[in-house]
C-alpha cells in the first residue's frame, strides 16, 4: 500500500510503500510519476540500495546521464551514472565531489531537452548538537510563476532563457548575497534556449523555468528590458515564500524535479562532519513524450 504525505505547504511529499531497490510495476510507476508532477520532490525514506539499483530506479523516469567533465572521476565503480558527492577523504584523497551544486541552479539546463529529475541517496548525513547539517535548499518555480503579476506573465509569453555556458559568471548577482559563489568556471557549451514560461509535461501547470546559476540572457524582449527583467525574475524566485529546505536522513532516496525547482547544497558542515550522497541525473526524454506520460497517468488513475 503506497502512502503519500506532503512535506510542506508548497513542495515535497514523503512516499512510503515503495521499495526503490526493485523494478517498479506499471501502477506504482504511474503513482510515483503523478506524485512528482504534483509535489515536485519526493522522499522515499528507509531505503537500502546499490548504485546499480539507484540507476535502475532513476531509469524508469528517463535516460540516466553518465557523469561527464570534472566530476567524472567521482563515480561509483562500474556505474558511471552515479556521482559520489562527499567531503570524506580516504588516504588523504577525496572520495567524492565536495562542491557540487553549491550555487543556485537547476540541473541539465544545457541539454537540448531540459533535464527532468535528480535521484539522490543519502548514506552519511552530518549532524552537530543533534541538528542536521548539509541540507539541500529549493525554490519552487511553479509557485513563483503563479505569483507573477499578470503583466509580467504577458510580457514573458514569447521569452526564452539562453544558456551558452560561456558567461557562467557574467551576470551581476551581487543583489543576491544568498546566491553563493561558484568555485569553477564552466566551459562553453552548445547554446540552448528554453521557454521562460514552460508547461510542465506531467502536471500541465506553468513554471518559471529560469536557472539563476546558468542563464546568460533573455531572448524575446526588447534589448532595453532584458537585463532588468532577468534581475527581476531571479529576485522574484528567491523569496522566502517559495523556499524549502530538505534535511537528509540516512537511507533517504530523494527525487526532485528540475523543471519546477532550483536548488543548492548547503555547505554548513566541517571537514570532520561527514556527508556522503550518491546522485543520478535523469534526462527529459521520457517525460517530454506525451504518449509516455498519458499512459503512466492512466495507470495511476486505475491504481488510485
Stretch near ligand SIN under the rule CB under 6 A, chosen from 65-73, 99-107, 143-151, 215-223: 99-107
- Least CB distance from residue 294 to ligand SIN, whole Å? 29
- Residue among 28 and 86 whose Cβ is closer to ligand SIN: 86
List 33, 253, 277, 293, residue binding ligand SIN (CB under 6 A): 277
Rounded least distance, CB 162 to ligand SIN, Å: 22
Q: Does 284 bind ligand SIN (CB under 6 A)?
A: no
Binding mask 120-139 for ligand SIN (x = CB under 6 A): ----------------x---
Q: 157: which DSSP letter?
A: T
Greatest C-alpha distance within the chain: 58
Distance from the first to the final alpha carbon of the chain: 11
Instruction: Determine, following the binding rule CB under 6 A, whether residue 35 of this chain makes contact with ligand SIN.
Output: no
Least Å distance, CB 120 to ligand SIN, is 7
Helices (H), 173-241: 223-237
Q: Does 279 bind ligand SIN (CB under 6 A)?
A: yes
Q: Which stretch binds ligand SIN (CB under 6 A): 100-108, 175-183, 282-290, 296-304?
A: 100-108
Q: Does 280 contact ligand SIN by CB under 6 A?
A: no
In Å, what is the CA distance from 37 to each residue of 140, 203, 224, 282?
13, 5, 36, 15
User: Which cell goes with 282?
Assistant: 535523469
Indicate the angle between helix axes 26-39 and 290-303, nearest 10 degrees: 100
Is the Cβ of residue 20 or residue 109 nearer to ligand SIN in the bound state?
109
176 vs 292 by CB, closer to ligand SIN: 176
Q: What is the distance between the alpha carbons of residues 235 and 233, in angstroms, rounded to a whole number?
A: 5
Q: Any contact of residue 100 with ligand SIN (CB under 6 A)?
A: yes
Tell which positions 236-275 bind ligand SIN, by CB under 6 A: 263, 265
> What is the C-alpha separation between 218 and 235, in angstroms, rounded?
15
85 touches ligand SIN by CB under 6 A: yes
For the chain, what is the radius of gyration of the CA atoms?
A: 19
Q: How many CB atoms lie within 10 A of CB 111?
A: 20
Answer yes or no whether residue 75 interacts with ligand SIN by CB under 6 A.
Answer: no
- 28 or 98: CB nearest ligand SIN: 98
Other CB atoms within 10 Å distance of the CB of residue 118: 24
Q: Least distance (Å) from ligand SIN to the CB of residue 173?
A: 17
Neighbouring CB atoms inside 10 A of 27's CB total 16
Q: How far is CA 236 from CA 20, 118, 142, 241, in A?
A: 36, 24, 12, 10
Contact residues for ligand SIN, defined by CB under 6 A: 85, 100-101, 107, 118, 136, 263, 265, 277, 279
Amino acid at each position: 500500500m503506497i502512502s503519500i504525505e506532503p512535506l510542506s505547504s508548497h513542495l515535497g511529499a514523503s512516499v512510503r510503500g515503495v521499495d526503490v531497490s526493485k523494478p517498479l510495476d506499471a501502477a506504482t510507476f504511474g503513482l510515483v510519476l503523478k506524485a512528482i508532477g504534483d509535489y515536485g520532490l519526493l522522499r522515499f525514506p528507509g531505503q537500502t540500495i546499490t548504485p546499480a539499483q539507484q540507476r535502475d530506479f532513476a531509469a524508469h523516469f528517463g535516460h540516466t546521464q553518465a557523469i561527464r567533465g570534472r566530476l567524472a572521476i567521482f563515480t561509483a565503480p562500474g556505474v558511471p551514472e552515479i556521482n559520489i558527492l562527499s567531503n570524506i577523504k580516504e588516504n588523504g584523497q577525496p572520495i567524492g565531489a565536495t562542491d557540487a551544486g553549491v550555487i543556485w541552479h537547476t540541473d541539465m539546463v544545457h541539454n537540448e531537452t531540459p533535464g527532468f529529475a535528480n535521484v539522490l541517496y543519502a548514506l552519511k548525513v552530518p549532524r552537530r548538537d543533534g541538528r542536521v547539517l548539509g541540507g539541500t535548499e529549493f525554490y519552487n518555480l511553479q509557485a513563483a510563476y503563479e505569483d507573477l503579476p499578470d503583466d509580467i506573465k504577458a510580457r514573458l509569453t514569447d521569452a526564452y532563457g539562453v544558456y551558452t555556458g560561456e558567461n557562467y559568471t557574467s551576470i551581476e548577482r551581487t543583489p543576491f548575497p544568498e546566491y553563493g559563489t561558484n568555485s569553477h568556471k564552466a566551459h562553453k557549451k552548445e547554446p540552448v534556449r528554453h521557454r521562460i514560461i514552460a508547461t510542465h509535461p506531467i502536471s500541465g501547470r506553468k513554471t518559471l523555468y529560469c536557472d539563476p546559476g546558468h542563464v546568460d540572457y533573455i531572448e524575446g524582449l526588447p534589448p532595453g528590458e532584458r537585463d532588468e527583467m532577468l534581475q527581476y525574475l531571479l529576485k522574484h524566485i528567491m523569496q522566502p515564500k517559495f523556499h524549502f529546505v530538505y534535511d537528509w536522513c540516512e537511507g533517504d532516496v530523494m527525487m526532485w524535479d528540475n523543471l519546477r525547482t532550483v536548488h543548492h547544497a548547503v555547505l554548513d558542515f566541517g571537514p570532520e562532519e561527514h556527508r556522503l550522497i550518491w546522485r543520478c541525473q535523469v534526462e527529459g526524454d521520457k517525460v517530454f513524450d506525451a504518449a509516455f506520460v498519458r499512459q503512466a497517468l492512466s495507470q495511476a488513475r486505475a491504481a488510485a
